[in-house]
Amino acid sequence: MHRVYSQPVDKKTGLICDQTVVLTDAHTPHYYPEKLQRIKYHDATTDHTFVFLTNNFTLPALTIAEFYRCRWQVELFFK
């Protein structure tokens, strides 16, 4: 993975980084040549750090992290 660009983030929100990346493994660029958004987020309540890859560049990074946080709650409920 190669970082193309980094967006500024407010670290008080739990965001660690918001980057635009391209995949660089040997065959990956052939199968998925598009750029991706890499979001690194620290959840203070669980003290876990998560990395998300998405091709959705229209939503803010914090919104994407919140979507996944809500999804975790649903998965824990059904566990």
Query: What confidence tens digit (pLDDT) does each residue in 17-35 have?
Result: 999 999 988 878 788 889 9
8 Å CB contact between 50 and 40:
yes
**Contact (CB, 8 A) for 50 and 41:** yes
Provide the residue ranges of all domains of the chain, joining segments of one domain with +: 2-78
pLDDT band at 76 (very low <50, low <70, confident <90, very high): low
Is the distance from CB of 19 to CB of 7 less than 8 angstroms? Answer: yes
Q: What is the pLDDT of residues 37-73, one digit of tens each?
A: 999 999 998 898 999 999 999 999 999 998 887 777 6
**The pTM is what?**
0.84
Structure tokens belonging to residue 4: 């193309």
- Intra-chain end-to-end CA distance of the chain, in Å: 33
- CA angle, residues 5, 54, 58, in degrees to nearest 5: 75
Q: Could you say which DSSP state residue 68 is in?
A: H
